Structure 1
Amino acid sequence: MKFHDGTEYIAVSDGFVEVRKDKVSIIVQTAETAREIDVERAKLAKARAESHLENDDDNTDIHRAERALERANNRLRVAELK
């Protein structure tokens, strides 16, 4: 997001954005600024999700693991923009 005094990068989950002439509204479950992201935690979450995806166990929820991997990758990309 751009502000008068600079730019702030934010990792967001799925949601909605409404852009108007003078205002932007963002409705999401989670939003973290680059400074708020715990990089080590995101790396662990990424490794855990990748492990679940590599597992051939029928109990693995593939959709959930894919979403977790997307969230972790998003956090890591945004954290690099500090």
Structure 2
Amino acid sequence: MALLISDECINCDVCEPECPNGAISQGEEIYIISADKCTECVGHHDTPQCIAVCPVDCISKDPENIEDKDSLYRKFVLLTA
């Protein structure tokens, strides 16, 4: 499952540099997470780093992009190949 940034985002820019896959970028109004690149940090860290650093807790699992840990790991392998 990819992660999703809600409209509570304050554009503080702390999440973007923490993403090891480069999945976070500035959208039109708030930061966005690319589901194609988001592995919830599987393969890199034990927990999603963007969630760990977000000061307003506006990042959660995206119900539109459900993936299990094995799928996230396979995506990590493809992204780092």
TM-score under structure 1 length normalisation: 0.26
Give the number of the structure whose residues are more often helix, by fraction.
1
Higher relative contact order (CA 8 A, sep 6+): 2
Pair member with larger Rg: 1
